[in-house]
């Protein structure tokens, strides 16, 4: 089995695993970090160390990191929390949010929920920007969509299906001067791109550990302190995390995320080289096949992703013909439903071609041999399916 689905999730880095064990073992540091006794304080200290590690990777302060259960929760908290807080005073006109059609489902579904239910009894209007054929939403596209009622822009840094990188740094500058809050889903960006929030005026930024060799089920939301991005909590309770997110802190998970982000900080540059090389090797090997399309702008790509559409083959058979290749067709999060990827549809691919697409994503432990084997299998099976097709004409 060759695993090329690192954008869906990654294995733990060995150092992350080692860092977690002392907080997981039956005889480890297991106390509740909220407990006010010795063992509790020890757990708390580990939580705070991890907070600093996460903050360090993205140029933030530890106090700007709020733990969540993952980027899904971070995105929900950022969007609903900001809208509820900011919209509290407004009356009459609909609160307005700008996002794109190629966001992760958890952003889109949150926006649709707000449109359907409103927010604190006020209507919500959402603009879903259509990216160009390359998958790009320009800062100018965003600016053109702003209205006086726009409270929030939510745009992902790196798209999880096609890997396109948006120009968030420029967008952030432009929005700051206009007083519009910017939320960025950075689940696929952390550890892959250089992120420096000290110099990029993003207000809210979502992170997930398991995309970066950390454990599943833990994430964080960066909430800027100066100027302060204010949120209504979405998880009510004992007032953990500065009142922004209640619930017992999962020490081992948090420690794992901290360790993963520390490793990511150390390895980012070399990871980028490694991943980019693998990506381009695979793309060049696949040139043996005529009529394939690379999805997304090749010059604006995160290093770990390659998304390719194969003309003339049917998507389900393509996947079935590659059982030894763990790849994704569309996002793992949406592939339970057999619908063609809405991201590829937004780029202008028709249903059939969207379905006949594979997302290859690479990781630290992917080797050149993996790529060669995978490329050979894909080429062989696409050729075979095309030969089998009564419709194919070479």
Partner 1 sequence: MQTETDATQANPFGYPPPVWQRFNAPARAGRFAMDTPGVVTGSAGSPAAHSRLQLQLRVADGRVADARFLAYGCPTSIAVGAWLAEWALGKTPAELRGLSLSELRATLEIADDRAHCAVMGEDAVRALLAQYEDAQP
**Residues that are catalytic:** 333
User: Of 301, 297, 304, which Cα lies nearest the Cα of 347?
Assistant: 297
Q: Which does 160 bind (CB under 5 to 8 A by kind): partner 1, ligand PLP, a copy of itself, none?
A: ligand PLP
Of 30-38, 68-76, 89-97, 269-277, the segment contacting partner 1 by CB under 8 A is 30-38
Give CA–CA dist 205/79, Å, rounded.
Answer: 11
Under the binding rule (CB under 6 A), the answer on residue 165 touching ligand PLP is: no
Under the binding rule (CB under 6 A), the answer on residue 247 touching ligand PLP is: yes
- Do the Cβ atoms of 282 and 276 come closer than 8 Å? no
Alpha-carbon distance values, 162 to 281, 315, 358 (Å): 17, 17, 10
Among residues 102, 127, 150, 160, the one that binds ligand PLP under rule CB under 6 A: 160
Of 252-281, binders to ligand PLP (CB under 6 A) are none
Of 355-374, binders to partner 1 (CB under 8 A) are 355
Among residues 46, 53, 57, 73, the one that binds a copy of itself under rule CB under 8 A: 73
Among residues 138, 317, 335, 383, the one that binds a copy of itself under rule CB under 8 A: 335
Give the 3-state secondary structure of residue 156.
strand
Among residues 94, 120, 277, 314, the one that binds a copy of itself under rule CB under 8 A: 120
Among residues 14, 18, 25, 41, the one that binds partner 1 under rule CB under 8 A: 41
Alpha-carbon distance values, 90 to 98, 125, 150, 154, 182 (Å): 18, 14, 12, 20, 19
Under the binding rule (CB under 8 A), the answer on residue 20 touching a copy of itself is: yes
Among residues 44, 86, 96, 104, the one that binds ligand PLP under rule CB under 6 A: 104
Under the binding rule (CB under 8 A), the answer on residue 31 touching a copy of itself is: yes
- Do the Cβ atoms of 244 and 66 come closer than 8 Å? yes
Q: What letter would DSSP give residue 347?
A: T
Shortest distance, CB of residue 216 to a copy of itself, whole angstroms? 4
Work out whether the CA dihedral 239, 245, 246, 252 comes out positive or negative.
Answer: negative
Residue owning tokens 């540091």? 29
Under the binding rule (CB under 8 A), the answer on residue 337 touching a copy of itself is: yes
Residue nearest to ligand PLP (CB): 70
Give the number of residues written for the chain: 394
Q: Which does 188 bind (CB under 5 to 8 A by kind): partner 1, a copy of itself, ligand PLP, none?
A: ligand PLP
Among residues 89, 92, 148, 390, the one that binds partner 1 under rule CB under 8 A: 390
Question: Using N-to-C axis directions, what is the helix angle for 368-388 and 251-286, rounded to 10°?
Answer: 60
The residue among 146 and 377 lying less far from partner 1, judged by its C-beta, is: 377
- Do the Cβ atoms of 146 and 194 come closer than 8 Å? no
Cα–Cα–Cα angle for 56, 220, 121, nearest 5°?
135
Give CA–CA dist 27/19, Å, rounded.
Answer: 15
Shortest distance, CB of residue 38 to partner 1, whole angstroms? 4
Give bridge partners of residue 328 from the DSSP assignment: 359
Under the binding rule (CB under 8 A), the answer on residue 319 touching partner 1 is: yes
Cα–Cα–Cα angle for 140, 353, 107, nearest 5°?
45
- Do the Cβ atoms of 344 and 309 come closer than 8 Å? yes
Of 210-239, binders to a copy of itself (CB under 8 A) are 210, 215-218, 234-239
Shortest distance, CB of residue 195 to ligand PLP, whole angstroms? 14
- Do the Cβ atoms of 353 and 30 come closer than 8 Å? no
Q: Which does 215 bind (CB under 5 to 8 A by kind): ligand PLP, a copy of itself, partner 1, none?
A: a copy of itself
Question: Using N-to-C axis directions, what is the helix angle for 251-286 and 38-57, rounded to 10°?
Answer: 30
Binding-site string for ligand PLP from residue 176 to residue 205, where x marks contact by CB under 6 A and - marks none: ---------x-xx-----------------
Shortest distance, CB of residue 62 to ligand PLP, whole angstroms? 21
Token pair in block for residue 5? 């689905």
- Residues within the interface to partner 1 (CB under 8 A): 1, 36-38, 41, 312-314, 316-317, 319-321, 323, 351-352, 355, 387-392
């Amino acid at each position: 089995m060759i695993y090329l689905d690192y954008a869906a999730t990654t294995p733990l880095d060995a150092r992350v695993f080692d860092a977690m064990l002392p907080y997981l073992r039956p005889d480890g540091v297991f106390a509740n970090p909220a407990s006010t006794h010795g063992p509790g304080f020890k757990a708390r200290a580990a939580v705070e160390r991890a907070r600093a590690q996460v903050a360090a990777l993205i140029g933030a302060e530890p106090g700007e990191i709020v733990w969540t259960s993952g980027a899904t929760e971070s995105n929900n908290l950022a969007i609903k929390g900001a809208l509820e807080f900011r919209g509290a005073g407004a009356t009459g006109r609909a609160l307005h949010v700008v996002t794109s059609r190629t966001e992760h489902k958890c952003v889109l579904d949150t926006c649709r929920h707000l449109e359907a239910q409103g927010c604190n009894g006020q209507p919500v209007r959402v603009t879903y920007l259509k990216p160009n054929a390359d998958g790009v939403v320009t800062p100018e596209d965003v600016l053109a969509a702003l209205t006086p009622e726009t409270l929030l822009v939510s745009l992902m840094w790196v798209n999880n299906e096609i890997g396109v990188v948006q120009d968030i740094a420029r967008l952030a500058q432009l929005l700051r001067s206009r007083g519009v809050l910017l939320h960025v889903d950075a689940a696929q960006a952390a550890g892959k791109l250089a992120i420096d929030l000290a110099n990029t005026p993003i207000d809210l930024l979502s992170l997930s550990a398991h995309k970066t060799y950390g454990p599943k089920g833990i994430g964080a939301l960066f909430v800027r302190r100066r100027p302060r991005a204010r949120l209504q909590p979405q998880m009510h309770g004992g007032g953990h995390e500065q009142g922004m997110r209640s619930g017992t802190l999962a020490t081992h998970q948090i420690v794992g995320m901290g360790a993963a982000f520390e490793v990511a900080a150390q390895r980012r540059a070399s990871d980028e080289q490694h991943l980019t090389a693998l990506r381009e090797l695979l793309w060049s090997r696949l040139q043996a096949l005529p009529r394939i399309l690379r999805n997304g702008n090749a010059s604006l790509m995160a290093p770990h992703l390659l998304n390719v559409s194969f003309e003339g083959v049917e998507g389900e058979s393509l996947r079935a013909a590659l059982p030894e290749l763990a790849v994704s067709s569309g996002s793992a999060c949406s592939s339970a439903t057999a619908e063609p990827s809405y991201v590829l549809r937004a780029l202008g691919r028709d249903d059939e071609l969207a379905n006949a697409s594979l997302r290859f994503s690479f990781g630290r432990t992917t080797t050149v041999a993996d790529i060669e084997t995978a490329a050979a299998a894909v080429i062989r099976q696409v050729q075979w399916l095309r030969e089998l097709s009564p419709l194919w004409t070479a």
